[in-house]
Protein backbone atom coordinates (compact mmCIF):
# COMPACT_ATOMS: atom_id res chain seq x y z
CA UNK A 1 0.00 0.00 0.00
CA UNK A 2 1.33 3.44 -0.90
CA UNK A 3 1.65 6.29 1.57
CA UNK A 4 -1.07 8.21 -0.28
CA UNK A 5 -3.65 5.47 0.12
CA UNK A 6 -2.64 5.03 3.76
CA UNK A 7 -3.30 8.71 4.38
CA UNK A 8 -6.52 8.71 2.39
CA UNK A 9 -7.87 5.63 4.12
CA UNK A 10 -7.15 7.03 7.54
CA UNK A 11 -9.92 9.56 6.90
CA UNK A 12 -10.17 12.18 9.64
CA UNK A 13 -6.90 11.06 11.24
CA UNK A 14 -4.83 14.15 10.26
CA UNK A 15 -6.92 16.22 12.67
CA UNK A 16 -5.27 14.30 15.48
CA UNK A 17 -1.74 14.87 14.30
CA UNK A 18 -0.42 17.88 16.17
CA UNK A 19 1.79 20.16 14.11
CA UNK A 20 5.43 19.75 15.13
CA UNK A 21 5.46 23.45 16.08
CA UNK A 22 2.99 22.60 18.82
CA UNK A 23 5.58 20.43 20.56
CA UNK A 24 8.88 22.21 19.86
CA UNK A 25 10.41 25.59 19.07
CA UNK A 26 13.75 24.77 17.42
CA UNK A 27 15.31 22.32 19.85
CA UNK A 28 13.30 23.56 22.78
CA UNK A 29 10.70 21.08 23.97
CA UNK A 30 7.68 23.05 25.12
CA UNK A 31 6.34 22.79 28.64
CA UNK A 32 2.89 21.25 29.25
CA UNK A 33 1.48 24.61 30.42
CA UNK A 34 2.31 26.05 26.96
CA UNK A 35 1.07 23.02 25.04
CA UNK A 36 -2.36 23.10 26.71
CA UNK A 37 -3.37 26.08 24.51
CA UNK A 38 -3.18 24.28 21.17
CA UNK A 39 -1.67 20.81 21.20
CA UNK A 40 -3.59 18.14 19.29
CA UNK A 41 -5.95 20.58 17.57
CA UNK A 42 -5.68 22.01 14.05
CA UNK A 43 -7.99 25.06 13.57
CA UNK A 44 -7.93 24.66 9.77
CA UNK A 45 -9.99 21.49 10.16
CA UNK A 46 -12.72 23.45 12.00
CA UNK A 47 -13.32 26.60 9.91
CA UNK A 48 -10.41 28.35 11.61
CA UNK A 49 -12.12 28.27 14.98
CA UNK A 50 -9.45 29.17 17.58
CA UNK A 51 -10.99 26.81 20.10
CA UNK A 52 -12.23 23.35 19.18
CA UNK A 53 -16.00 23.24 18.62
CA UNK A 54 -18.00 20.74 20.68
CA UNK A 55 -18.75 17.86 18.31
CA UNK A 56 -22.30 16.84 19.18
CA UNK A 57 -22.81 13.84 16.97
CA UNK A 58 -23.39 10.16 17.64
CA UNK A 59 -21.65 8.93 14.49
CA UNK A 60 -19.11 9.97 11.83
CA UNK A 61 -19.25 9.71 8.02
CA UNK A 62 -16.47 7.57 6.49
CA UNK A 63 -14.68 8.96 3.41
CA UNK A 64 -15.06 5.55 1.73
CA UNK A 65 -15.89 1.93 2.56
CA UNK A 66 -12.26 0.82 2.84
CA UNK A 67 -11.62 3.57 5.42
CA UNK A 68 -14.67 2.42 7.39
CA UNK A 69 -13.33 -1.13 7.45
CA UNK A 70 -9.91 0.06 8.50
CA UNK A 71 -11.30 2.20 11.31
CA UNK A 72 -13.30 -0.74 12.62
CA UNK A 73 -10.14 -2.82 12.74
CA UNK A 74 -8.85 -0.21 15.17
CA UNK A 75 -12.06 -0.14 17.21
CA UNK A 76 -12.23 -3.92 17.61
CA UNK A 77 -8.56 -4.23 18.50
CA UNK A 78 -7.60 -6.13 15.32
CA UNK A 79 -5.26 -3.21 14.77
CA UNK A 80 -3.76 -1.89 18.03
CA UNK A 81 -3.79 1.78 19.01
CA UNK A 82 -7.47 2.59 18.56
CA UNK A 83 -9.28 3.74 15.44
CA UNK A 84 -7.26 5.95 13.10
CA UNK A 85 -10.37 7.89 12.20
CA UNK A 86 -13.65 8.75 13.82
CA UNK A 87 -16.34 6.07 13.91
CA UNK A 88 -19.04 6.34 16.57
CA UNK A 89 -19.18 8.41 19.75
CA UNK A 90 -19.03 5.47 22.15
CA UNK A 91 -15.51 4.80 20.80
CA UNK A 92 -14.02 8.24 20.19
CA UNK A 93 -14.66 11.85 19.20
CA UNK A 94 -12.55 14.93 18.41
CA UNK A 95 -12.99 16.56 21.83
CA UNK A 96 -12.10 13.38 23.71
CA UNK A 97 -9.08 12.70 21.47
CA UNK A 98 -7.66 16.20 21.93
CA UNK A 99 -8.21 15.84 25.67
CA UNK A 100 -6.41 12.49 25.69
CA UNK A 101 -3.44 13.92 23.76
CA UNK A 102 -3.16 16.73 26.30
CA UNK A 103 -3.59 14.52 29.37
CA UNK A 104 -0.65 12.40 28.22
CA UNK A 105 1.56 15.51 27.83
CA UNK A 106 1.74 16.30 31.57
CA UNK A 107 3.41 13.04 32.43
CA UNK A 108 5.16 12.34 29.11
CA UNK A 109 2.98 9.25 28.88
CA UNK A 110 2.62 7.36 25.60
CA UNK A 111 -1.15 7.45 25.65
CA UNK A 112 -4.25 8.38 27.67
CA UNK A 113 -7.95 7.58 27.84
CA UNK A 114 -10.82 9.80 29.02
CA UNK A 115 -13.73 8.40 31.04
CA UNK A 116 -17.15 9.51 32.28
CA UNK A 117 -15.96 9.50 35.94
CA UNK A 118 -12.99 8.52 38.07
CA UNK A 119 -14.88 5.40 39.12
CA UNK A 120 -15.74 4.41 35.54
CA UNK A 121 -12.01 4.74 34.71
CA UNK A 122 -11.10 2.49 37.66
CA UNK A 123 -13.88 -0.01 36.89
CA UNK A 124 -12.88 -0.21 33.22
CA UNK A 125 -9.22 -0.70 34.21
CA UNK A 126 -10.14 -3.56 36.56
CA UNK A 127 -12.54 -5.23 34.09
CA UNK A 128 -9.89 -5.14 31.37
CA UNK A 129 -7.24 -6.77 33.58
CA UNK A 130 -8.86 -9.37 35.86
CA UNK A 131 -10.65 -12.70 35.47
CA UNK A 132 -12.15 -15.12 38.03
CA UNK A 133 -9.52 -16.61 40.34
CA UNK A 134 -7.07 -13.70 39.86
CA UNK A 135 -5.75 -11.60 42.74
CA UNK A 136 -5.48 -7.81 42.95
CA UNK A 137 -2.71 -6.67 45.30
CA UNK A 138 -3.45 -3.17 46.57
CA UNK A 139 -2.35 -0.53 49.04
CA UNK A 140 -4.83 0.48 51.71
CA UNK A 141 -6.90 2.40 52.41
CA UNK A 142 -8.34 3.12 48.97
CA UNK A 143 -11.06 5.55 47.92
CA UNK A 144 -14.20 4.01 49.47
CA UNK A 145 -15.93 3.20 46.16
CA UNK A 146 -12.74 1.53 44.87
CA UNK A 147 -12.67 -0.72 47.95
CA UNK A 148 -16.36 -1.54 47.38
CA UNK A 149 -15.67 -2.32 43.72
CA UNK A 150 -12.85 -4.74 44.55
CA UNK A 151 -14.31 -6.50 47.59
CA UNK A 152 -18.05 -6.46 47.06
CA UNK A 153 -18.41 -6.39 43.27
CA UNK A 154 -15.35 -8.08 41.75
CA UNK A 155 -15.40 -10.43 44.75
CA UNK A 156 -18.77 -11.73 43.50
CA UNK A 157 -17.05 -12.77 40.28
CA UNK A 158 -14.34 -14.75 42.07
CA UNK A 159 -11.62 -12.09 42.13
CA UNK A 160 -9.40 -12.14 45.26
CA UNK A 161 -7.43 -9.32 46.85
CA UNK A 162 -4.59 -8.80 49.28
CA UNK A 163 -3.49 -5.45 50.66
CA UNK A 164 -0.61 -3.75 52.46
CA UNK A 165 -0.84 -0.43 54.36
CA UNK A 166 0.04 2.71 52.36
CA UNK A 167 3.25 3.43 54.29
CA UNK A 168 4.53 -0.19 54.10
CA UNK A 169 8.29 -0.86 53.91
CA UNK A 170 9.93 -2.92 51.17
CA UNK A 171 9.98 -5.97 53.49
CA UNK A 172 6.26 -5.61 54.28
CA UNK A 173 5.41 -5.19 50.60
CA UNK A 174 7.57 -8.24 49.71
CA UNK A 175 5.70 -10.36 52.26
CA UNK A 176 2.29 -9.51 50.73
CA UNK A 177 3.55 -9.90 47.14
CA UNK A 178 5.10 -13.32 47.89
CA UNK A 179 1.88 -14.53 49.45
CA UNK A 180 -0.13 -13.24 46.47
CA UNK A 181 2.33 -14.77 43.98
CA UNK A 182 1.15 -18.28 44.89
CA UNK A 183 -1.91 -17.37 42.76
CA UNK A 184 -2.23 -15.32 39.56
CA UNK A 185 -1.77 -11.62 40.33
CA UNK A 186 -3.51 -9.63 37.60
CA UNK A 187 -2.87 -6.10 38.85
CA UNK A 188 -1.06 -4.13 41.54
CA UNK A 189 -3.23 -1.15 42.43
CA UNK A 190 -2.04 1.78 44.56
CA UNK A 191 -3.47 5.03 45.84
CA UNK A 192 -1.14 7.72 47.16
CA UNK A 193 -1.62 9.71 49.27
CA UNK A 194 -4.35 7.57 50.81
CA UNK A 195 -7.65 9.23 51.66
CA UNK A 196 -8.14 10.47 54.37
CA UNK A 197 -4.89 9.52 56.13
CA UNK A 198 -2.62 11.24 53.57
CA UNK A 199 -0.18 8.29 53.91
CA UNK A 200 2.15 8.02 50.90
CA UNK A 201 2.92 4.74 49.11
CA UNK A 202 6.55 3.95 48.26
CA UNK A 203 6.05 3.33 44.53
CA UNK A 204 9.78 2.67 43.97
CA UNK A 205 9.69 -0.08 46.61
CA UNK A 206 6.52 -1.58 45.08
CA UNK A 207 8.20 -1.60 41.65
CA UNK A 208 11.38 -3.22 43.02
CA UNK A 209 9.32 -5.81 44.89
CA UNK A 210 7.18 -6.59 41.82
CA UNK A 211 10.29 -6.99 39.63
CA UNK A 212 11.99 -9.25 42.18
CA UNK A 213 9.02 -11.52 42.82
CA UNK A 214 7.37 -11.76 39.39
CA UNK A 215 9.32 -12.68 36.28
CA UNK A 216 8.74 -12.76 32.54
CA UNK A 217 5.18 -12.59 31.25
CA UNK A 218 3.80 -12.98 34.78
CA UNK A 219 4.55 -9.40 35.79
CA UNK A 220 1.32 -7.69 36.85
CA UNK A 221 1.18 -4.00 35.85
CA UNK A 222 1.34 -1.33 38.57
CA UNK A 223 -1.50 1.21 38.44
CA UNK A 224 -1.84 4.14 40.84
CA UNK A 225 -4.61 6.59 41.67
CA UNK A 226 -2.81 9.96 41.61
CA UNK A 227 -5.92 12.15 42.00
CA UNK A 228 -4.66 14.03 45.07
CA UNK A 229 -1.27 15.13 43.74
CA UNK A 230 -1.32 14.76 39.98
CA UNK A 231 -0.18 15.71 37.57
CA UNK A 232 1.71 18.68 39.06
CA UNK A 233 2.86 17.50 42.51
CA UNK A 234 3.54 13.81 41.78
CA UNK A 235 4.24 11.86 38.57
CA UNK A 236 4.38 8.18 39.55
CA UNK A 237 5.30 6.92 36.06
CA UNK A 238 8.76 8.25 36.96
CA UNK A 239 8.89 6.01 40.06
CA UNK A 240 8.01 2.89 38.07
CA UNK A 241 4.20 2.79 37.90
CA UNK A 242 2.88 1.78 34.47
CA UNK A 243 -0.61 3.29 34.63
CA UNK A 244 -1.86 6.42 36.40
CA UNK A 245 -5.54 6.82 37.23
CA UNK A 246 -7.35 10.11 37.81
CA UNK A 247 -10.64 11.42 38.98
CA UNK A 248 -10.58 14.48 36.69
CA UNK A 249 -13.51 15.70 38.79
CA UNK A 250 -10.93 17.03 41.27
CA UNK A 251 -7.85 19.14 40.42
CA UNK A 252 -7.83 18.53 36.65
CA UNK A 253 -11.43 19.71 36.18
CA UNK A 254 -10.76 22.07 39.04
CA UNK A 255 -14.02 24.06 39.17
CA UNK A 256 -16.36 21.55 40.86
CA UNK A 257 -18.61 21.62 37.79
CA UNK A 258 -18.02 18.27 36.09
CA UNK A 259 -17.40 14.56 36.72
CA UNK A 260 -14.79 12.69 34.65
CA UNK A 261 -11.80 10.36 34.86
CA UNK A 262 -8.73 9.20 32.98
CA UNK A 263 -6.03 6.56 32.75
CA UNK A 264 -2.61 7.45 31.31
CA UNK A 265 0.36 5.18 30.63
CA UNK A 266 2.08 2.91 28.11
CA UNK A 267 0.46 2.06 24.77
CA UNK A 268 0.13 -1.70 25.35
CA UNK A 269 -1.83 -1.44 28.59
CA UNK A 270 -3.86 1.50 27.28
CA UNK A 271 -4.85 -0.57 24.21
CA UNK A 272 -6.17 -3.31 26.51
CA UNK A 273 -8.19 -0.82 28.54
CA UNK A 274 -9.46 0.98 25.41
CA UNK A 275 -10.92 -2.30 24.12
CA UNK A 276 -12.95 -2.62 27.32
CA UNK A 277 -14.02 1.03 27.18
CA UNK A 278 -15.12 0.63 23.55
CA UNK A 279 -17.24 -2.35 24.59
CA UNK A 280 -18.93 -0.94 27.68
CA UNK A 281 -19.06 2.76 26.73
CA UNK A 282 -17.40 4.47 29.71
CA UNK A 283 -15.93 7.33 27.61
CA UNK A 284 -16.72 10.91 28.70
CA UNK A 285 -19.11 13.02 26.63
CA UNK A 286 -17.88 15.75 24.21
CA UNK A 287 -19.12 18.64 26.35
CA UNK A 288 -17.27 17.39 29.44
CA UNK A 289 -14.14 16.83 27.33
CA UNK A 290 -14.38 20.43 26.08
CA UNK A 291 -14.75 21.75 29.64
CA UNK A 292 -11.67 19.78 30.63
CA UNK A 293 -9.68 21.29 27.73
CA UNK A 294 -10.53 24.70 29.18
CA UNK A 295 -9.58 23.52 32.68
CA UNK A 296 -6.21 22.16 31.55
CA UNK A 297 -5.21 25.61 30.21
CA UNK A 298 -5.12 26.87 33.83
CA UNK A 299 -4.14 23.62 35.57
CA UNK A 300 -0.66 24.73 36.57
CA UNK A 301 -1.84 28.21 37.59
CA UNK A 302 -4.62 26.83 39.75
CA UNK A 303 -2.62 24.07 41.39
CA UNK A 304 0.37 26.33 42.10
CA UNK A 305 -1.84 28.95 43.72
CA UNK A 306 -3.80 26.37 45.74
CA UNK A 307 -0.52 24.81 46.88
CA UNK A 308 0.89 28.18 48.00
CA UNK A 309 -2.37 28.99 49.80
CA UNK A 310 -2.37 25.63 51.60
CA UNK A 311 1.22 26.16 52.80
CA UNK A 312 0.25 29.53 54.33
CA UNK A 313 -3.00 28.27 55.87
CA UNK A 314 -1.31 25.17 57.35
CA UNK A 315 1.46 27.30 58.82
CA UNK A 316 -1.23 29.39 60.56
CA UNK A 317 -3.22 26.37 61.78
CA UNK A 318 -0.15 24.50 63.04
CA UNK A 319 0.54 27.01 65.81
CA UNK A 320 -3.09 27.57 66.86
CA UNK A 321 -3.95 26.62 70.49
CA UNK A 322 -7.23 24.89 69.49
CA UNK A 323 -5.47 22.68 66.93
CA UNK A 324 -4.08 19.27 67.96
CA UNK A 325 -2.32 18.41 64.70
CA UNK A 326 -2.21 19.30 61.00
CA UNK A 327 -1.73 16.31 58.65
CA UNK A 328 -0.09 18.17 55.75
CA UNK A 329 2.56 16.57 53.54
CA UNK A 330 4.70 19.71 53.75
CA UNK A 331 5.20 19.14 57.49
CA UNK A 332 6.71 15.63 57.21
CA UNK A 333 10.04 15.47 59.03
CA UNK A 334 12.02 13.00 61.14
CA UNK A 335 10.84 11.00 64.16
CA UNK A 336 7.63 9.03 63.60
CA UNK A 337 7.34 10.60 60.15
CA UNK A 338 10.85 9.67 58.93
CA UNK A 339 9.68 6.94 56.54
CA UNK A 340 6.87 9.11 55.11
CA UNK A 341 9.26 12.07 54.81
CA UNK A 342 11.69 9.89 52.84
CA UNK A 343 8.95 8.79 50.39
CA UNK A 344 7.82 12.40 50.09
CA UNK A 345 11.34 13.58 49.16
CA UNK A 346 11.76 10.86 46.53
CA UNK A 347 8.25 10.97 45.00
CA UNK A 348 6.67 14.41 45.38
CA UNK A 349 7.27 17.79 43.79
CA UNK A 350 4.80 19.58 46.07
CA UNK A 351 2.66 19.02 49.16
CA UNK A 352 -0.71 19.55 47.49
CA UNK A 353 -3.62 21.52 48.92
CA UNK A 354 -5.69 18.83 50.64
CA UNK A 355 -4.90 18.06 54.28
CA UNK A 356 -6.27 16.80 57.61
CA UNK A 357 -6.95 19.13 60.53
CA UNK A 358 -7.28 17.51 63.96
CA UNK A 359 -8.95 19.90 66.42
CA UNK A 360 -8.64 19.58 70.18
CA UNK A 361 -11.88 17.87 71.25
CA UNK A 362 -14.32 15.71 69.29
CA UNK A 363 -17.37 15.89 67.03
CA UNK A 364 -18.87 18.91 68.87
CA UNK A 365 -15.73 20.98 68.29
CA UNK A 366 -15.38 19.80 64.68
CA UNK A 367 -19.03 20.61 63.89
CA UNK A 368 -18.82 24.04 65.59
CA UNK A 369 -15.79 24.84 63.44
CA UNK A 370 -17.41 23.60 60.21
CA UNK A 371 -20.67 25.46 60.89
CA UNK A 372 -18.80 28.74 61.48
CA UNK A 373 -16.81 28.81 58.24
CA UNK A 374 -17.93 31.55 55.86
CA UNK A 375 -15.57 31.36 52.86
CA UNK A 376 -14.87 27.64 53.00
CA UNK A 377 -17.94 25.66 51.95
CA UNK A 378 -19.11 22.58 53.80
CA UNK A 379 -18.96 19.91 51.08
CA UNK A 380 -17.09 16.72 50.18
CA UNK A 381 -14.80 16.57 47.10
CA UNK A 382 -11.59 18.48 46.57
CA UNK A 383 -9.34 20.20 44.04
CA UNK A 384 -11.74 22.98 43.04
CA UNK A 385 -11.09 26.73 42.86
CA UNK A 386 -13.07 27.10 46.11
CA UNK A 387 -12.02 25.91 49.56
CA UNK A 388 -14.05 22.98 50.90
CA UNK A 389 -14.21 21.43 54.36
CA UNK A 390 -15.87 18.20 55.52
CA UNK A 391 -16.06 15.71 58.41
CA UNK A 392 -14.89 12.25 57.21
CA UNK A 393 -16.09 10.30 60.29
CA UNK A 394 -19.62 11.66 59.87
CA UNK A 395 -19.74 11.94 56.08
CA UNK A 396 -17.49 10.13 53.54
CA UNK A 397 -16.46 7.42 56.02
CA UNK A 398 -19.70 7.18 58.03
CA UNK A 399 -20.27 3.51 57.16
CA UNK A 400 -16.67 2.43 57.93
CA UNK A 401 -16.64 0.13 61.04
CA UNK A 402 -15.30 1.84 64.18
CA UNK A 403 -12.26 -0.46 64.50
CA UNK A 404 -11.14 0.40 60.98
CA UNK A 405 -11.81 4.10 61.58
CA UNK A 406 -9.57 3.92 64.66
CA UNK A 407 -6.84 2.13 62.73
CA UNK A 408 -6.94 4.76 59.97
CA UNK A 409 -7.03 7.74 62.33
CA UNK A 410 -10.54 8.79 61.18
CA UNK A 411 -11.45 10.34 64.52
CA UNK A 412 -14.39 12.60 65.43
CA UNK A 413 -12.08 15.64 65.74
CA UNK A 414 -10.82 15.25 62.14
CA UNK A 415 -11.75 17.84 59.52
CA UNK A 416 -10.67 17.42 55.88
CA UNK A 417 -9.83 20.59 54.02
CA UNK A 418 -9.18 21.23 50.33
CA UNK A 419 -7.74 24.69 49.79
CA UNK A 420 -8.73 26.65 46.68
CA UNK A 421 -7.35 29.70 44.87
CA UNK A 422 -8.92 32.46 47.01
CA UNK A 423 -6.76 35.08 48.75
CA UNK A 424 -4.69 33.27 51.40
CA UNK A 425 -5.14 35.97 54.06
CA UNK A 426 -8.93 35.90 53.59
CA UNK A 427 -8.85 32.14 54.13
CA UNK A 428 -6.70 32.51 57.25
CA UNK A 429 -9.18 35.12 58.60
CA UNK A 430 -12.04 32.66 57.94
CA UNK A 431 -10.28 29.84 59.81
CA UNK A 432 -9.25 32.16 62.64
CA UNK A 433 -12.87 33.29 63.19
CA UNK A 434 -14.24 29.74 62.96
CA UNK A 435 -11.72 28.53 65.55
CA UNK A 436 -12.99 31.22 67.93
CA UNK A 437 -16.43 29.54 67.75
CA UNK A 438 -14.97 26.21 68.89
C1 LIG B 1 -13.08 11.33 43.79
C2 LIG B 1 -12.11 10.24 43.74
C3 LIG B 1 -12.33 9.08 42.97
C4 LIG B 1 -13.63 8.85 42.21
O5 LIG B 1 -13.79 9.77 41.21
P6 LIG B 1 -15.23 10.19 40.60
O7 LIG B 1 -14.86 11.17 39.55
O8 LIG B 1 -16.04 10.75 41.73
O9 LIG B 1 -15.84 8.94 40.06
C10 LIG B 1 -11.35 8.12 42.94
N11 LIG B 1 -10.21 8.25 43.64
C12 LIG B 1 -9.95 9.34 44.40
C13 LIG B 1 -8.67 9.42 45.15
C14 LIG B 1 -10.90 10.36 44.48
O15 LIG B 1 -10.64 11.42 45.25
Domains, the chain, ordered by start = 3-97 (no CATH), 112-283 (3.40.640.10), 299-435 (3.90.1150.10)
Which residue has a Cα nearest atom 2 of ligand 1?
Answer: 247
Residue of 278, 303, 363, 355 whose CA lies nearest to 78: 278
Give the C-alpha separation, 399 to 393, whole Å. Answer: 9
Helix (H, G, I), strand (E, B) or coil at 20: helix
Query: Ligand 1 centre and the CA of 228: distance in Å?
Result: 9
Query: Which of 105, 138, 81 shows the shortest CA–CA distance to 273?
Result: 81
* Burial status of residue 399 (CB atoms within 10 A of its CB: 0-12, 13-18, 19 or more): exposed
Cα–Cα distance between 411 and 433 in angstroms, integer?
Answer: 23
Residue 169: predicted pLDDT: 96
Distance (angstroms) between ligand 1 centre and the Cα of 174 equals 28
Strand partners, 245: 225, 263
CA dist 55 → 49, 95, 290, 312 (Å): 13, 7, 9, 42
Residue 319 burial class via C-beta count within 10 angstroms: exposed 0-12, middle 13-18, buried 19 and up: exposed
Which mutation among 119, 125, 259 tests ligand 1's pocket best, with the greatest number of atoms within 8 A of CB? 119
Residue 154: which region, alpha, beta or left (left: phi > 0; alpha: psi -120 to 50)? alpha
Amino acid 400: pLDDT:
85
Residue nearest to atom 1 of ligand 1 (CA): 247
Within 13 Å and on the Cβ side, how many CA atoms surround 358? 10
Ligand 1 centroid–CA 247 distance in Å is: 5
Measured in Å, residue 261 CA sits from the centre of ligand 1 at 8
Q: What is the pLDDT of residue 24?
A: 86
Residue 404: the pLDDT is: 85
* CA nearest to 283, candidates 88, 81, 107: 88
* pLDDT computed for residue 1 by the predictor: 35
Residue minimizing CA distance to atom 8 of ligand 1: 118
Predicted local confidence at residue 19, as pLDDT: 53
| Confidence at residue 394, expressed as pLDDT on a 0 to 100 scale | 94
CB-defined site of ligand 1, < 6 Å: 117-119, 143, 191, 195, 225, 227-228, 247, 249-250, 259, 261
- By residue count, the chain amounts to 438
Low-confidence ranges of the chain (pLDDT < 70): 1-21
Q: How far is ligand 1, taken at its centre, from the CA of residue 138, in Å? A: 16
Q: What is the pLDDT of residues 413-435, one digit of tens each?
A: 999 999 999 999 999 999 999 99
Cβ atoms 132, 159 nearer than 8 A: yes
Query: Cα of 142 to ligand 1 centre, how many Å?
Result: 10
Report the pLDDT value the prediction gives residue 11, as an integer from 0 to 100.
37
Amino acid sequence: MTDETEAELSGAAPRRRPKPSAEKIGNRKLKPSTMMMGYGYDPTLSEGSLKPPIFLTSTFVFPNAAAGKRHFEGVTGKRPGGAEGLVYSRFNGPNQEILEDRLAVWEEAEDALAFSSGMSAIATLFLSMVKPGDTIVHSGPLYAATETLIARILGRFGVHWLDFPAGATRAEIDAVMSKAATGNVALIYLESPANPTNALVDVEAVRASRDAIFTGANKPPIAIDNTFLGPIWAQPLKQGAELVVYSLTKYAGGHSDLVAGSVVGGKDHINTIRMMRNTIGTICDPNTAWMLLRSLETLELRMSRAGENAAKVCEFLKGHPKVEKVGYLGFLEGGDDARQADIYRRHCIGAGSTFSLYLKGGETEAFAFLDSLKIAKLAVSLGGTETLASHPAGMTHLSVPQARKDALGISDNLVRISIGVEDADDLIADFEEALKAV
